[in-house]
Amino acid sequence: MGILEFMDAKNTLDTAECWRLLEAQTLGRLATATDQGPRIWPINYRVRGESLIFRSAPGSKVWDIGRDGRVAFEVDGLESGLHWSVVVLGTAQVIDEDDPGPRTEHDELMLVAPGPKPILFRITPDSVSGLRFVSALEPSPLWNDRPVGWRSPS
- The domains of the chain, with CATH numbers, are 11-133 (2.30.110.10)
pLDDT in tens, 11-45: 899 999 999 999 999 999 999 999 999 999 999 99
Cα-Cα-Cα-Cα torsion 16, 18, 22, 28, nearest 10 degrees, comes to -160
For the cut 90, the answer to whether the pLDDT of residue 10 exceeds it is no
3-state secondary structure the chain: CCHHHHHHCCCEECHHHHHHHHHHCCEEEEEEEECCEEEEEEEEEEEECCEEEEEECCCHHHHHHHHCCEEEEEEEEEECCEEEEEEEEEEEEEECCCCCCCCCHHHCCCCCCCCCCCEEEEEEEEEEEEEEECCCCCCCCCCCCCCCCCCCCC
Query: What average pLDDT is seen over the chain?
Result: 82
